[in-house]
Amino acid sequence: MENSLDAGATQVDVRLGGGGLDLVEVSDDGSGMSPADMALAIERHATSKLPNEAIEEVASFGFRGEALPSIASVARFTLDSRVRGSDGWRLEVDHGARISEGPAALPPGTRVRVEGLFAKVPARRKFLRSPRAEYAACLDTVRRLAMARPDVAFTLDHDGRRILSLAPVALPARVASILDHGLAEHGLPIDLQRGEVRLGGVVSLPTFTRGAADQQYLFVNGRPVKDRLLVGALRAAYQDLIARERSPIVALFLDLPGKEIDINVHPAKTEVRFADPQGVRGLIVGGLRSALDQAGH
């Protein structure tokens, strides 16, 4: 999905089978790849995204060139792609071995199909949970990326059923369609600025919480993250306002200059290193505290 967004897609369609264990397929209407670029894309450390600028200025999701070759080495992998104005091409890889390639019929864009993930790699397979749990993780990922890019249309199908269908909209509408609907009534809009750092979005009032933290959507410079510092700051902001085992529902977007962060810490890029962690924490705890205060909490 990140590759699709990097390729300028306006529509991203995800199909899952068996929670993703049987099938994960992502189709997009992005730039597509030439047959030569497709061959390169499944080579390790081949990326078209290494920036001329400093690494911290990278605007794309990818920049390691690891996803496609890694996936292609542990599953049955079919890559279809077509650049607008050219013919489509298909490349099939089975556990790292190229088994076939040839012309393919598809609209401009790319379709990546992954079948039987880890099925023949028992050492990895045992780290996969039940189809149900893996499905939940996939849904979570789709939701987070959909919230990061409200301008893009997304669909999600699981075992032939349409789960999500999201048209391009403005951010508040996308947030509303993904988060708990009660937030319309029990949410508090946030828009704070401290120096070059901005914090925007919506958080739920202390009276509207959940037992799990699965509705905390956090973004740093447009990327979904699950960063510990941010989660901790959020917890601190609500401390004494909600019971320990409860969590607020939030969609928070933190934007700061590229030099203030290092996204590269975690391979899945969900952890961030901040140049000024205390400043970030202070903005979140202090900012949310006073917003909740003013709202009468």
Q: Which is nearer to Mg ion, 269 or 281 (CB)?
A: 269
Contacted entry of Mg ion, ligand ADP, none for residue 91, CB cut-off 5 to 8 Å set by kind: none
Distance between CA atoms of residues 118 and 267, nearest Å: 19
Token pair for 213:
């933290």
The reply on whether position 192 binds Mg ion by CB under 5 A is no
Count Cα atoms within 13 angstroms, Cβ side, for 150: 13
In the list ligand ADP, Mg ion, none, the entry touching 116 (Cβ below 5 to 8 angstroms by class) is none
> By C-beta, is 91 or 205 nearer to ligand ADP?
91
- Work out the angle between the directed axes of helices 131-148 and 171-178 (0-180°, nearest 10): 160
Least distance in angstroms from the C-beta of 106 to ligand ADP = 12
Smallest separation, CB 64 to Mg ion (Å): 7
Q: Is 48 near ligand ADP (CB under 6 A)?
A: yes
Torsions phi, psi of 287, nearest 5? -65, -45
The answer to whether 164 and 146 have CB atoms below 8 angstroms apart is yes
Using the minimum distance from each CB to ligand ADP, give the nearer residue, 46 or 213. Answer: 46
Q: Of the two residues 8 and 182, which places its CB atom closer to ligand ADP in the complex?
A: 8
Q: 64 contacts which partner out of ligand ADP, Mg ion, none, CB within 5 to 8 A by kind?
A: ligand ADP
Question: Could you say whether residue 62 binds Mg ion (CB under 5 A)?
Answer: yes
Q: What is the radius of gyration, based on Cα positions, of the chain?
A: 20
Burial string for 207-238 (b: 16+ CB within 10 Å, else e) reads: ebbbeeeebbbbbbbebbbbbebbeebbbebb
Is residue 28 within 8 Å of residue 142, measured between CB atoms? no
Q: Least separation, in Å, of the C-beta of 170 and ligand ADP? A: 25
**Tell me, what amino acid is at 153?**
A
Counting contacts by CB under 5 A, is residue 67 touching Mg ion?
yes
Region binding ligand ADP by CB under 6 A among candidate stretches 40-48, 201-209, 229-237, 260-268: 40-48
Number of residues near Mg ion (by CB under 5 A):
3
Interaction mask 99-128, ligand ADP, x per CB under 6 A: -----------x------------------
CA dist 205 and 272 (Å) reads 26
Element (H, E) at 185: helix 183-186
Least spacing, CB of residue 269 vs ligand ADP, in Å: 10
* Contact set with ligand ADP (CB under 6 A): 3-4, 7, 28, 30-31, 33, 41, 46-49, 62-68, 110
